[in-house]
């Protein structure tokens, strides 16, 4: 590995995020971590599936959920997944400004998603008295969706930190892997959300 | 430094390849949105649950496949270990979901 | 390396070196020292249990304390003793075996160790205010009802050390996938590396289930949620599932690495290559795969129904097949070999019959119908001590004797080693063999006392006497460590003269960058190949050049201290909201240190070529 981590203009690597040993390690490490995250969410989904009808006399899933907001949230998060792909596309073309721009859009969409989620929770609590403590269903719902929301919040602080930290110095072989691992993590959050809107909201409206 | 970077010449062949890949990404995004629309529509049209639940679950799996294989490049070379790990995770997920729906209450 | 130069630097500098180290070898030693300490704690608890059960209706400790004792004994031995010592061995040996200079994420490695240590310390601090008392399985609703803060310590302590273990697992996987030396293909990896790899995959998939289970338990106990509260629609069986989805793979996390140890020890001391290498690798994967699908055999009496019970019974019995393959492969490795018996080999040889007995009773327990009879009796206690002591502990001790010269540059004393082996071995069978029969006679586990004249008196007395033999063996082992540290025989690089794998090609103990030049691996048992071709050592795969190494850092320790403070706050904020200050300030410490880590560039350092040439290797 060379001492100088900045990208050499004459010898631009095909994928700057995997050009260094450290970059390769980060890439592999994040994937392995996502394997563990899969099981983490699997257990939360399992708990929710077991407890979704245990509403202890409170509102049922059909009474509670509204598909409009969920659809909006889905579109926000799916789009943010695409915009992060754009960001990585510009990274591979060595265009730092555009990468920052698209990462910024990704973050904004994420913030929009999180705002919707907070509104949703507040609505359930104040409109229905449906809380973390009101029933086993409530506990399981907030645990699953809340863990996902927590992951979104963590991802947001991650990307904002990265963008601010590297705004002045531009792209190099030291920070390219960091942007790339963020993008992978962000896609995974979207994967989890696809199952949340299907298993929690859509299936909750059906049965 | 930043300005320098963005004007740098990159292998035009590579650039063309990146562009083609990006187009494929946009197509898969469009498909994901369509799948989402179908799933929401099926539920809103109140299709009987015997049909709708397997269909929306299938749609979710296909959509997640797009995320993993295209957005996250799991189909590409150099992703053999990550894909094995994810398959392992998915296997356990299915097992856990089955457990909690079938052998938790009786 | 270290040792001599560290002594010159004075105590403060040495301490700072160990607190900030990211060297996988030092972290390995730290893991083993921490695990060893908790092993003594757990052992002490075991002796107290056996003293209480030495005679009928004994009054040595109170019933409440007895519950705390069994809970802490189990929890400590599994999470804080066996696993960390194994993680220590893996940390030290695995990178050497694949010809790497460090693990993939040295910083994370250090963070993982400190999280384990502080998690363990936090759990043991509960002794001052009331330890957890719901058994190591911590079943709801008993654990939800348990008064005081004991269970809260269990939750937070295991959460911390579990997070550390998960980091270790991810780290090992990435290391093995990406950092193998030139020529070291997957199918040339030593078996210990293979089992480290597979155990790490199990850690990766099993520990998140524990994390979730502990979170739910924490929410129920501290924040009023209702996961396990039947009154609000909760279900206590969820805890059992989550716990055993983690807990069964956990026992394979404990046993697979020592299968790897034996697969190194037998070929070395039989001077013969491992019989059926490919089958061994395959069997390891098969055990791991099946190990994930059998957790409900711990729940046969819960009432899952005959279909579920049958499926899990059959899957459980199936595990005996790959395990049997392994047992036979070890026997065939010994067959016709030129066998040298020493303490490392004795532990390995004793493992085979002991573990096989444990495996046999395992198949007995796997039969769901018969399990209704065995469940929660001393038969189960006998069974799992045969696999965990007869397997894991024997394996750890074999591995420690085997790699001690590599790790510390000095041999353990052979006579003392054999004395501790024989006393421990005899004591082990005295203690646990009789427990199978006590169980069959109807003695339930987790009971504070047993009644007189029910045929249980002699058996329990024998069992307790065995426990003293085992304690004696452990004390002899400790004396052995101390004596050999003071004046032990120095070990050369190939300490046993018949080393086959890469770790024996470098100095004992290794320099901190392990390999001056990465070795070229030309087949399975690379060092043996070179020796057979008359070469003194490995052929280098690269010219001598500067080496890139990571920098040490105090941040992992600070992050861990922050998290420990926050955990303490979580435990006590239920009674007094002022403790939330501890929660927030602890979190702040942890987050600020993490931020520091990510904002400050750390490119590591380079060891210049001139220095390498000067030092030699």
Which residues does residue C444 pair with via DSSP β-bridges, in sequence order? C377
Maximum distance among all Cα pairs of chain A, rounded to whole angstroms: 69
Cα–Cα distance for residue pair A87/A93, rounded to 1 Å? 10
pLDDT confidence band for C239 (50 / 70 / 90) = very high
Tell me the DSSP string of C500-532: -SGGGGS-SSPPTTS-SSPBPP-SSSHHHHHHH
CB C164 within 8 A of CB C137: no
Number of A:C CB contacts under 8 A? 117
B61 shares a domain with B48: yes
Mean pLDDT of C210-226: 97
Q: What is the pLDDT of residue A3?
A: 45
Contact C296 B103 (CB under 8 A): yes
Picking from A204, A158, A9, A186, the residue whose alpha carbon sits closest to that of residue A81 is A186
B81 → chain C, closest CA residue: C177
Residue-range definition of the domain harbouring residue B94? 76-106
Decide: helix, strand or coil at residue C434.
Answer: helix
Token reading at C164: 């550390």
Query: What string of H, E and C letters represents the secondary structure of B79-93?
Result: CHHHHHHHHHHHHHH
3-state secondary structure of C410: strand
Q: Give the ipTM.
A: 0.94
Judged by CB atoms closer than 8 Å, whether chains meet at A94 and B88 is answered as: no
Cα separation, C136 vs C450, whole angstroms: 21
Angle at C324 between CA C323 and CA C329, to 5 degrees: 100
Q: What is the mean pLDDT of residues C133-144?
A: 95
Residue B6 has pLDDT above 80, yes or no: no
Give A207's contacts in chain B (Cβ within 8 Å). Answer: 49, 53
Report the half-sphere exposure of A133 (CA within 13 A, side-chain side).
Answer: 6
- Give the chain A residue whose CA is nearest to the CA of C175: A25
Q: Does B35 share its domain with B51?
A: yes
The yes-or-no verdict on residue C7 having pLDDT over 60 is no
Mean pLDDT of chain B: 88
- The Cα–Cα gap between C280 and C259 comes to 9
Is the domain of B54 the same as that of B89? no
Minimal CA–CA distance to A198: which of C543, B84, B35, C524?
B35
- Structure-derived torsion over alpha carbons of residues A104, A106, A109, A115, reported in degrees to the nearest 10: -80
From the CB of residue C349, how many other CB atoms can be counted at a distance below 10 Å?
A: 22
- pLDDT averaged over every residue in chain C: 95
Residue A95 touches chain B, beta carbons under 8 Å = yes
Residues forming beta bridges with residue C606, ordered by sequence position: C548
Residues of A in contact with C205 (CB under 8 A): 35-36, 39
Percentage of residues in chain C having pLDDT higher than 90: 95
pLDDT at C27: 98
Q: Name the H helices within B45-79.
A: 49-66
pLDDT for position B2: 44
Task: Provide the pLDDT for residue B9.
Answer: 56
Per the listing, tokens 């394996």 go with: C395
Distance from CA of C179 to the nearest CA of B (A): 14
Which of C144, C126, C50, C39 is closest to C82 using CA atoms?
C39
User: Strand C605-607 relative to strand C547-549: parallel, antiparallel, unpaired?
Assistant: antiparallel
- The first and second tokens of residue C403, run together, are 């790699």
Given a contact cutoff of 8 angstroms between Cβ atoms, the answer to whether C54 and C456 are in contact is: no
**Residue in the block written with tokens 């987790």:** C446
CA-CA distance, C524 to C237, in Å (whole number)? 47
Return the percent helix, strand and coil in chain C, to nearest 5: 70, 0, 25
Subunits in contact with chain B (3 or more CB pairs closer than 8 Å) = A, C
> Per the CB < 8 Å rule, is A139 touching C213?
no
Nearest CA in chain C to B95: C293
| Every domain of chain C and the residues it spans | 2-553+602-615, 558-601
Euclidean distance between CA atoms A207 and C167, whole angstroms: 40
Give chain C positions within 8 Å (CB) of B89. Answer: 205
Q: Report the chain A residue with the minimal C-alpha distance to residue C242.
A: A43
Angle at A176 between CA A171 and CA A179, to 5 degrees: 110
* Alpha-carbon torsion (B21, B22, B23, B28), positive or negative: positive
State how far the Cα of A144 lies from the Cα of A140, in Å rounded to an integer: 6
Q: Residue C458: which residues within 8 A CB-CB, separation 6 or more?
A: none
CA distance C183 to C541: 9
Question: What span, in angstroms and rounded, lies between the C-alpha atoms of C365 and C367?
Answer: 5
Q: How far is C602 from chain B (nearest CA, A)?
A: 21
- Between the CA of residue C424 and those of C160, C276, C339, C427, C472, what are the distances in Å? 32, 31, 23, 5, 7
**What pLDDT band is residue C9 in, cutting at 50, 70 and 90?**
confident
Mean pLDDT for the stretch of residues C478-484:
97
d(CA C340, CA C322): 27
**CB contacts < 8 Å between B and C, how many?**
33
Nearest residue on chain A to C594, judged by CA atoms?
A158
Task: Indicate whether B66 and B91 sit together in one domain.
Answer: no
Q: Does B41 touch chain A (CB under 8 A)?
A: no
Mark yes or no for CB contact A28/C174 under 8 Å: yes
pLDDT value at residue B3: 44
**Residue in B with minimal Cα distance to A68:** B40
DSSP letter assigned to residue C81: I
Chain A environment of B22 (Cβ under 8 Å): 85-86, 89
Kindly give the parts of chain A with pLDDT less than 50.
1-3
Q: List chain C residues with CB under 8 Å of B93.
A: none
CB contact under 8 A, B106 and C205: no
Does the pLDDT of residue C4 top 70, yes or no?
no
Question: Measured between CB atoms, which of C209, C292, C304 is closest to B103?
Answer: C304
pLDDT band at C615 (very low <50, low <70, confident <90, very high): confident
SS (H, E, C) C309-368: HHHHHHHHHHCHHHHHHHHHHHHHHHCCCCCCCCHHHHHHHHHHHHHHHHHHHHHHHHCH
HEC string of C266-324 equals: HHHHHCCCCCCHHHHHHHHHHHHHHHCCCHHHHHHHHCCCHHHHHHHHHHHHHCHHHHH
What mean pLDDT do residues B53-65 have? Answer: 95
Adjacent-strand bridge partners of C377: C444
Number of domains in chain B: 2
Which residues from chain A sit within 8 angstroms of residue B9, using beta carbons? Answer: 9
Question: Chain B: nearest CA to C30, how far in angstroms?
Answer: 30
Q: Identify the CATH number of the domain defined by range C2-553+602-615.
A: 1.20.210.10
**For testing contact with chain A, the best of B64, B76, B102 (most A CBs within 10 A):** B64
- Please name which of A206, A193, A196 lies closest in space to residue A77, comparing C-alpha atoms: A193
Which of C174, C212, C235 is opposite residue A43, by nearest beta carbon?
A: C212
Give every CB contact of residue C105 below 8 A, 6+ residues apart in sequence. Answer: A25, A29, C167, C170, C171, C174
Before C141, cis peptide (omega within 30)?
yes
| Closest alpha carbon within chain C to A22 | C104
B36 and B15 in a common domain: yes
* Pair (B23, B65) in one structural domain: yes
Q: Which pLDDT belongs to residue B43? A: 94
CB contact under 8 A, C233 and A50: no
In 3D space, the residue among C369, C338, C377, C360 whose CA is nearest the CA of residue C496 turns out to be C338
Per-window interface: A 126-185 vs C, CB < 8 A: 132-140, 143, 161, 165, 174
Q: Which CATH superfamily is domain A17-52+60-206 in?
A: Cytochrome c oxidase, subunit III, four-helix bundle (1.20.120.80)
Nearest-5° Cα angle at C387, C424 to C479: 25
The residue in chain B having the minimum alpha-carbon distance to the alpha carbon of residue C177 is B81
Residue A185: CB atoms within 10 Å: 20
What is the rounded end-to-end Cα distance, in angstroms, of chain B?
A: 66
Helix (H), strand (E) at residue C404? helix C394-408
Are B90 and B43 in the same domain?
A: no
In total, the C-beta contacts within 8 angstroms joining chain A to chain B are 155
Tokens linked to C434 = 């009789």
Q: Which of A25, A54, A56 sits opposite C104 (nearest CB)?
A: A25
CA distance A164 to A157: 11
Structure confidence at residue C611 as a pLDDT band (50, 70, 90): confident
The structure tokens listed for A47 are: 């708990």
Q: Is the peptide bond before C509 cis (omega within 30 degrees of 0)?
A: yes
Give every CB contact of residue B21 below 8 A, 6+ residues apart in sequence: A89
Distance CA(C111)–CA(B20), nearest Å, equals 42
Query: Which residue's entry shows tokens 């009054």?
Result: C59
């Amino acid at each position: 590995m060379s001492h100088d981590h900045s990208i050499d203009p004459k010898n631009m690597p095909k994928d700057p995020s995997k050009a260094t040993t450290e970059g390769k390690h980060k890439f592999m490490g994040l994937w392995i971590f996502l394997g563990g995250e899969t099981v983490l969410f699997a257990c939360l989904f399992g708990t929710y599936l077991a407890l979704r009808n245990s509403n202890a006399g409170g509102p049922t899933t059909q009474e509670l959920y509204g598909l409009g907001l969920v659809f909006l949230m889905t579109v926000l998060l799916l789009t943010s997944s695409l915009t992060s792909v754009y960001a990585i596309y510009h990274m591979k073309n060595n265009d730092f400004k555009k990468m920052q721009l698209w990462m910024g859009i990704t973050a904004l969409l994420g913030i929009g998603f999180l705002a919707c989620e907070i509104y949703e929770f507040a609505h359930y609590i104040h409109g229905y008295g449906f809380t973390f403590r009101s029933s086993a269903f409530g506990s399981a719902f907030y645990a699953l969706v809340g863990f996902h929301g927590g992951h979104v919040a963590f991802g947001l602080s991650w990307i904002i930190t990265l963008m601010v930290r590297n705004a002045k110095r531009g792209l190099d072989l030291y920070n390219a892997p960091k942007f790339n691992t963020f993008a992978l993590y962000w896609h995974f959050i979207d994967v989890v959300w696809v199952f949340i809107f299907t298993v929690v909201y859509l299936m909750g409206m059906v049965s | 430094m930043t300005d320098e970077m963005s004007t740098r010449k990159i292998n035009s062949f590579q650039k063309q390849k990146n562009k083609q890949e990006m187009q494929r990404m946009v197509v898969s995004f469009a498909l994901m949105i369509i799948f989402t629309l179908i799933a929401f529509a099926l539920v809103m049209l109140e299709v009987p649950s015997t049909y709708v639940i397997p269909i929306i679950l299938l749609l979710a799996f296909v959509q997640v496949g797009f995320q993993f294989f295209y957005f996250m490049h799991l189909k590409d070379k150099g992703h053999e270990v990550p894909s094995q790990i994810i398959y392992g995770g998915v296997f356990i997920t299915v097992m856990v979901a089955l457990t909690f729906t079938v052998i938790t209450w009786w | 390396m270290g040792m001599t130069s560290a002594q010159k630097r004075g105590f403060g500098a040495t301490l700072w070196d160990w607190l900030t180290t990211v060297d996988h070898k030092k972290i390995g030693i730290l893991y083993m020292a921490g695990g060893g300490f908790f092993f003594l704690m757990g052992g002490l608890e075991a002796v107290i249990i056996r003293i209480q059960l030495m005679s009928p209706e004994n009054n040595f400790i109170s019933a409440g304390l007895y519950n705390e004792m069994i809970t802490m004994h189990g929890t400590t031995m599994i999470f804080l003793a066996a696993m960390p010592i194994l993680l220590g061995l893996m940390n030290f040996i695995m990178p050497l075996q694949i010809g790497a200079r460090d693990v993939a994420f040295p910083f994370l490695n250090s963070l993982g160790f400190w999280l384990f240590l502080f998690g363990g310390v936090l759990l043991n601090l509960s002794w001052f205010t009331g330890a957890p008392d719901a058994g190591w399985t911590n079943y709801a609703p008993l654990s939800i009802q348990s008064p005081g803060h004991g269970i809260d310590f269990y939750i937070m302590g295991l959460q911390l050390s579990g997070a550390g273990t998960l980091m270790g697992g991810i780290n090992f996987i990435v290391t093995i996938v990406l950092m193998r030396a030139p020529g070291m293909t997957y199918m040339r990896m030593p078996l210990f590396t293979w089992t480290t790899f597979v155990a790490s995959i199990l850690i990766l998939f099993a520990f998140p289930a524990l994390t979730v289970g502990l979170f739910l338990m924490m929410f129920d106990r501290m924040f009023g949620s209702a996961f396990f509260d039947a009154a609000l629609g909760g279900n206590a069986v969820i805890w059992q599932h989550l716990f055993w989805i983690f807990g069964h793979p956990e026992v394979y996390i404990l046993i697979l690495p020592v299968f790897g140890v034996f697969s190194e020890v037998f070929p070395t001391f039989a001077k013969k290559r491992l019989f059926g290498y490919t089958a061994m690798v395959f069997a390891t994967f098969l055990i791991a795969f099946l190990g994930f699908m059998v957790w409900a055999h711990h729940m046969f009496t819960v009432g899952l129904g005959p279909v579920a019970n049958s499926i899990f019974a059959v899957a459980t019995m199936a595990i005996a097949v790959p395990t049997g393959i392994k047992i036979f492969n070890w026997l065939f490795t010994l067959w016709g070999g030129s066998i040298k018996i020493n303490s490392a080999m004795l532990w390995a040889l004793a493992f085979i019959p002991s573990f096989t007995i444990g495996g046999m009773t395992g198949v007995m327990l796997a039969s769901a119908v018969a399990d209704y009879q065995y469940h929660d009796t001393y038969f189960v206690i006998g069974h799992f001590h045969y696999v965990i002591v007869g397997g894991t502990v024997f394996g750890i001790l074999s591995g420690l004797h085997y790699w001690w010269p590599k790790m510390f540059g000095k041999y353990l004393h052979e006579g003392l080693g054999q004395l501790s082996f024989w006393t421990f071995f005899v004591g082990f069978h005295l203690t646990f063999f009789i427990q199978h029969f006590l169980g069959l006679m109807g003695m339930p586990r987790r009971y504070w006392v047993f009644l007189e004249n029910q045929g249980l008196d002699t058996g329990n007395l024998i069992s307790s006497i065995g426990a003293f033999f085992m304690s004696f063996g452990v004390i002899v082992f400790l004396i052995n460590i101390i004596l050999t540290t003071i004046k032990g025989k120095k070990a050369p690089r190939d300490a046993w003269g018949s080393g086959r794998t890469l770790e024996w090609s470098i100095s004992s103990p290794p320099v901190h960058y392990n390999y001056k030049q990465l070795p070229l691996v030309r087949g399975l048992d690379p060092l043996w190949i070179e020796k057979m071709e008359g070469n003194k050592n490995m052929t280098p795969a690269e010219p001598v050049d500067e080496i890139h190494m990571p920098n040490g850092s105090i941040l992992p320790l600070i992050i861990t201290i922050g998290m420990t403070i926050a955990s303490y706050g979580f435990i006590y904020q239920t009674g007094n909201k002022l403790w939330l200050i501890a929660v927030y300030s602890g979190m702040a410490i942890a987050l600020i240190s993490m931020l520091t880590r990510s904002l400050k560039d750390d490119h590591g350092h380079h060891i210049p070529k001139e220095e390498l040439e000067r030092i030699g290797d």
